[in-house]
Amino acid sequence: MKQQTKLSENKEHVAEQQTQSDPAKEFASSDELLRFDAAQTTVPPGIAQRLQKSAAEIRPATSRSWWKNVFGG
């Protein structure tokens, strides 16, 4: 019984730690908030692949080299 209590206490402690790992944040302005949001945003990798294909259709001879350098293919 005592052990169960200890276990549940430990779970509570872990849950508390998890909550603490995502602490409340304060932003002084909308600019700061949006900058934070932008920095958290990841560009989907599929866009580069689509672009590579589209660019190759426009200028097959010249477009290949620079896309190839960075995105491969």
Partner 1 sequence: MDNSSAEQDCLSRPPWQKVSADFAGVYQKHSRAIYYLSLRFLGDEQKAEDATHDVFLKAFRRLDQFRGEASVRTWLYRIAINHCQNLCSSWHNRHVLASSDDAVWETATAKTDSPLRVLETKELGQRIQKTLDALPDEYRLLLLLVADEELSYEEIAALVGQSADAVRGKLHRARKVFAAHFQKTS
Binding site for partner 1 (CB under 8 A): 22, 24-31, 33-38, 40-41, 43-44, 46-48, 50-51, 54-55, 58, 62-63, 66-67, 69-71
| 54, amino acid identity | S
At its nearest, how many Å lie between partner 1 and the CB of residue 5? 30
At its nearest, how many Å lie between partner 1 and the CB of residue 58? 7
- Integer Rg of the chain from CA: 25
Residue closer to partner 1 by CB (options 5, 17) is 17
> For residue 72, which of 11, 32, 34, 64 has the smallest C-alpha distance?
64
Is the CB of residue 52 less than 8 Å from the CB of residue 67? yes
